Amino acid sequence: MDQAQIMKREREGWERTYYKTLKGLEVMINIQRIMKNMKKLTEETSTTVAEMDGMILTASINNQTTNATNITQMAEDL
């Protein structure tokens, strides 16, 4: 009888180890999924920032052109 109880405890121990391993794998898979989503969001954000940078640069160039035109016009008016 003692041998049967020992085998039962060993089996229960292996079952616990098995389920702990499965739970650990599930956590790792979830972390990989989260990291993949974060990478995607980072790429989208980077693209948006690059587009904004281009718009700001264009606005700055337009503003400089407008200022130069206004200064030239003011000088001619004087």
**pLDDT tens string for the chain (78 positions)?**
688 888 888 888 899 999 999 999 999 999 999 999 999 999 999 999 999 999 999 999 999 999 889 888 887 777
Q: What is the pLDDT of residue 1?
A: 64
- State residue 67 phi and psi, 5-degree precision: -60, -45
Q: Please name the residue ranges forming H helices in the chain.
A: 2-77
Helix (H), strand (E) counts: the chain: 1, 0
Positive or negative torsion for Cα 55, 61, 64, 65: negative
Q: Which amino acid is at 56?
A: I
- CA contacts within 13 A on the Cβ side of 66: 6
